[in-house]
Amino acid sequence: MFLSMTGFGRASRVFQWGTVTFEAVSVNHRYQEISVRLPKEISSFESVLVTSLRSLLRRGKIRLTADIDWAADFRTAPIDADALRSYHDQLQKIALDLNAPPPDLTALLSLPGVCDCPRLRGERGDAEDIWKNLAYDTVGALMEMKRSEGEKLWNSVEEDLKELERLNALLTERWTLVNEEALFALRSRIEKIMERFSLELDQNRIAQEVSILADKWDVSEELARLTGHITKFKEIASSLESEGRKLDFLIQEMNREVNTMGSKTGDTEFRWMVVEAKSCLERIREQIQNVE
C-alpha cells in the first residue's frame, strides 16, 4: 500500500461557546517532524496532541493548527468587578502615598483575575479526550487524502515498474547473445595471437584465460539480483503498511546493479537499454520520495 506524505485534513466540533476547527497539513520530509499551533485557551494540551500525532503518522512534516470561532455570547470576556475594585483601591492608596496620578481603569483589565474568561467552562474535566478525539478525526481526514494520493503514486510507479521488468527481460536476452559472441571473438583473438607468435596452443590454457576474462564482463549475477529486487519491490508495495523508506533503499540497490551492468559491457545496444533502465528507475525514485 502506498500512502502519500502530502495531504490535508480538517475536522470541527461545536460547543455551546463556539466551534473548534482543527486542520492538519502534511508535506514531504525524510523523517517525522510535527508542529502544533493552538489558541491560548487550549495551548496546555499541545504535548498531548503531539504525542497523539506521533502515534498516528510515521513520516513527513506535519503541522496541526486549531481555530476557535466563538459564539456571540462568549466573544467578550466578563469583567470581575470585585477583582477590579480591589486592584483599583490598592493602587489608588499607593498613588496617594506617592502623590501620583490615580490609576487608569483600562490599564487594570489585563491584570490576573479581572477578565478571566469562562469560555471553556464545562469541558475542563474531559478536555484532553475531547481534543485527542478531534485530532483523531482530523488525522482521519488527512489519511483519506494521503491514501487517495498514494493510489495515484502507485499507478504511476506500477507503469514504470512494468517497463523496468520489460527492460530487464530484454537485457537478459541481449546478454545471452552478446556473451556468446564475445566469448567466441575472445577465443579467436587469443588463438590468432598465439599463431602469430608461433606459440604452442594449449586448449586448457586458452579455456582458462577465456574464463577469467569472461568473469570480468559477466552481468548474469546483476541481472538475477535486479530480478529479485523487482520481485521484492512489488511484495513490499503490496503489503498492508506504507514502506516508502524501505522502497527508497531498494531503488538504490537496483541503481547499483544497473550501473554495474553498464560499466561491464561494451555492447552499444545493451548499454542503451541500461540507460533506459536508469531513466525508468529515476522516475520511480522521484515518486517514492513522496511515499510515507
DSSP per-residue string spanning 72-122? GGGSSPPP-HHHHHHHHHHHHHHHHHHT-PPPPHHHHTTSTTTS---TTTT
- Cβ-contact 226, 237 below 8 angstroms: no
Residue 227 pLDDT more than 50? yes
Tally of CB atoms within 10 A around 18: 20
What is the pLDDT of the chain when averaged over all its residues?
84
In tens, the pLDDT along 232-261 reads 999 999 888 888 889 999 999 999 999 998
Smallest CA-to-CA distance from 2 within 234, 278, 197 is with 234
**167-204 as b/e: b if 16+ CB within 10 A:** bbeebeebbeebbeebeeebeeebeeeeeeeeeeeeee
From 3.40.50, 3.30.1360, 2.60.40, 3.30.230, which CATH number describes the 7-75+124-147 domain?
Answer: 3.30.230
Please give the CATH number for the structural domain made up of 148-288. 1.20.140
Provide the percentage of residues in the chain whose pLDDT is more than 70: 82
pLDDT in tens, 35-94: 999 988 788 889 989 998 998 888 889 999 999 888 776 666 677 788 878 888 888 888
pLDDT above 80 for 9: yes
Block residue for cell numbers 479581572:
114
Distance CA 33, CA 21 (A): 22
Give the pLDDT confidence of 170-216 residue by residue, as tens digits: 999 988 887 776 666 666 666 666 667 666 656 665 556 555 555 56
**Residue range 145-160: mean pLDDT, rounded:** 93
Beta bridge partners of 4: 291
Strand order in the sheet with 18-27: 7-15, 18-27, 60-70, 32-37
Domain locations in the chain as residue ranges: 7-75+124-147, 78-116, 148-288
**Between residues 7 and 18, which one has the greater pLDDT?**
7
Q: How buried is residue 246: exposed, middle or buried, by Cβ count under 10 Å (0-12/13-18/19+)?
A: middle
